[in-house]
Chain A
């Protein structure tokens, strides 16, 4: 059995309480961290090959290196806890079950980069996560792990929870900053990047929950150790969320480089009885869809790109043979249309048009020319917007059409959808059958 890191407290009773967390060795790494300076901590982070776990996979140590070094400039830490990419549900586990790990990571990050204030930007729906984080922060203040002169080391660092109010786009780091400032979450043009002009116009480091929760382990065991746990350029283990038509949906920790097939069989328990794998989405709804012949693809940013998709958040959705790819693409287009912030016309209008055309095909009203129309619409979104939201619709929709062209053609030819309605959960259906 591999040693667990990020998930090691998920099964420990009340690990969200400070005393339990400390009994498990929590916060003991701070002593070591406080004996290191900025350069040596950033060097370990770079060596670790930790990549941003929010989906983009930017090397964390490099991002930290962009932050200005002047000690008298006000600088902010912002944790992106706005988890909402369809198919993704891993950060919630850390916040609800092991919130002190995130706080510990924040303290080390603040020490390393001279940050005086941090905000954890949590989506408002995750109220349990918010309560657990607020409690962890209160406990940390009481134990002088936050606030003034932390552990007598001269570090002043305040950490707050900022609850959002329902907007997927705030997961985009500059949309998040707008939301933190109380504005509509409309992403900003980059550059300037947040490391130069971030929240309240000050340099800001924005990192994902899982990214910062990994920091204590990297400091404790060293960057080389973390790098060796993964594959080239993809250090460490990470949390993989498995969902869809599988036996054991859930969040599991495994090393980067594990194959999709191994995750499915070893952790997911395989497909539901009587289900056959038709397709999977490797890292959230904005990734290109993949087929079973790609089950041996390794979970890593480069390896999945080579296999024709992307790692995204590392949360995989598995779909069986009853899943209609036209309906699924229409449903995802609906999502991206609903969540478009509206400031760029190609995204605001294009996502809606894409939804209408895909929905017409699914409903049996598709015309032959609609397949070209949809490609034209998405090509006019791609690359023409401030943020990646529009592209996040383009990539999957194009992949569904190119991977399953016959299915789209069949819908047009038959003037309807040959697939069953969205499937009842098998257990539900079985219980109903037994009751009859």
Chain B
């Protein structure tokens, strides 16, 4: 039972490959790692082996790249991975308070995933949103990303959190996504 991209994932994979010279398949690795993450929930060694085979690369090359980039999750995250920026302008405009508030509201510490698998809370470096600080980015388990900015206003934060809560039911559980994609 080996992993395989979904039909839609395979289509996207081929489209990504088409951007690079035929002899330079490795160039597709960064976007393909993110595609694989949206398909399989997280990038396990099994996923890396699958990508190595698909891109005709030594698995060590995939490992070396996968472990270098911060958006590639080497373990399952929550359905909503909330990433709070605390660099420079965000630190000045309430990034740390936002992080504290979220720890309280989500009931987890920074760096943790809730036991129901819904939330992961992380502190991250600058997300190029300095004029709309404080803010966080949410990476959903389906690979989509949203920026939520200007979160200094508690009402706005509350509205964002209810929006995210409502979305949870429609998101796949990253811990189970590997099994759903086995042929």
Are A and B interaction partners? yes
A383 to B103, CA, bound (A): 41
Contact code string B141-161 (vs A, CB < 8 Å = 1, else 0) = 000111100001111000000
| A125 B71 Cβ-Cβ under 8 A | yes
A44 contact set on B, CB distance < 8 A: none
> Are A200 and B21 neighbours in the complex by a CB distance under 8 Å?
yes
CB neighbors of B among A274-326 (8 A): 281, 285, 315, 317, 319, 323
Q: Mark B65-96, 1 if CB is under 8 A from A, else 0.
A: 10011111000000000000011110111111
Residues of A with C-beta under 8 A to B128: 83-84, 88-89, 91-92, 123, 125-126
CB-contact partner of A285 in B19, B70, B88, under 8 A: B88
Q: Does B134 contact A (CB under 8 A)?
A: yes
Q: Given B65, B97, B125, which contacts A168 in the complex, CB threshold below 8 Å? A: B125
Interface residues in B24-71 (C-beta closer than 8 Å to A)? 24, 26-31, 33-34, 61, 64-65, 68-71
Contact, CB under 8 Å: A181 / B26: yes
B131 contacts the other chain (Cβ, under 8 Å)? yes
Given contacts A124-B34, A165-B34, A179-B30, contact A427 B126 (CB under 8 A): no
Chain A positions 381 through 414: 1 when the CB is less than 8 Å from some CB of chain B, otherwise 0? 0000000000000000000000000000000000
Residue of B nearest to A431 (CB): B154
A124: B residues at CB distance < 8 A? 30, 34, 69, 71
Q: How far is the CB of B133 from chain A (nearest CB, A)?
A: 7
A185 / chain B contacts, CB cutoff of 8 Å = 68-69
Residue of A160, A249, A332, A338 near B88 (CB, 8 A) is: A332
Is there an interface contact between B126 and A165, defined as CB atoms closer than 8 Å?
no
A167 and chain B: residue at smallest CB distance: B69
Q: With the chains together, A124 CA to B24 CA distance in Å?
A: 21
Contact at A86–B30, with CB atoms within 8 Å? Answer: no
List the B residue with the shortest CB-CB distance to A74.
B21
Which residues from A are CB-within-8-Å of B28? 182
| Closest chain A CB from B63 CB (angstroms) | 10
Inside 8 A of A328's CB, which chain B residues have their CB?
88, 91
Chain A CB count within 10 A is highest, among B134, B144, B152, for B152
Q: Do A162 and B34 contact each other (CB < 8 Å), given the known contacts A184-B68, A317-B130, A332-B88?
A: no
B177 interface residue (CB < 8 Å to A): no
CA of A149 to CA of B88, assembled, Å: 47
Task: Give chain A residues whose Cβ lies under 8 Å from the Cβ of B145.
Answer: 125, 127
* Chain A residue at minimum C-beta to C-beta distance from B97: A424
| Residue A350 is within 8 A (CB to CB) of chain B in the complex | no
Q: Are A184 and B30 in contact (CB under 8 A)?
A: no
Q: Is B168 an interface residue, CB under 8 A from the partner?
A: no
B127 within 8 A of A: yes
- Complex Cα gap A89–B131 (Å): 7
In the bound complex, do residue B127 and residue A317 qualify as a contact, i.e. CB atoms below 8 Å apart?
no
Please tell me if the beta carbons of B64 and A184 are within 8 angstroms of each other in the complex. Answer: yes
B132 within 8 A of A: yes
Name the CB-closest residue of A to B85: A86
Count of B interface residues, CB-CB < 8 Å: 49
Q: How far is the CA of A331 from the CA of B155 in the complex (A)?
A: 29
Q: Is the CB of B154 within 8 A of A241?
A: no
Question: Is B129 positioned at the interface, with any CB of A under 8 Å from its CB?
Answer: yes
CB neighbours (8 Å) of B71 from chain A are 124-125, 165-166
Instruction: Knowing A181-B27, A331-B87, A422-B92 are in contact, say whether A86-B130 is a contact too (CB < 8 A).
Output: yes
Q: Smallest CB–CB gap between A283 and chain B, Å? A: 12
- Chain B contacts for A85, CB-based, 8 A: 126
Contact A338 B96 (CB under 8 A): no
Closest to A91 in B: B128
Query: Are A427 and B131 in contact, CB atoms less than 8 angstroms apart?
Result: no
Specify which chain B residues have a CB less than 8 angstroms from the CB of A207 in the assembled complex. none
Q: Contacts A87-B126, A422-B97, A425-B152 given; 7 further ones with Cβ under 8 A?
A: A86-B89, A164-B30, A165-B31, A182-B30, A250-B131, A251-B131, A331-B88
Taking Cβ atoms with an 8 Å cutoff, the residues of B that contact A are: 19, 21, 24, 26-31, 33-34, 61, 64-65, 68-72, 86-89, 91-97, 125-134, 137, 144-147, 152-155
Give chain A's interface residues, CB within 8 Å of chain B: 83-89, 91-92, 119, 123-128, 160, 162-168, 179-185, 200, 241-245, 249-251, 281, 285, 315, 317, 319, 323, 328, 331-332, 335, 338-339, 341, 421-425, 427-428, 431-432
Per CB-CB distance, the 6 closest pairs between chain A and chain B, nearest first, are A182-B29, A425-B152, A166-B71, A166-B70, A184-B68, A165-B69
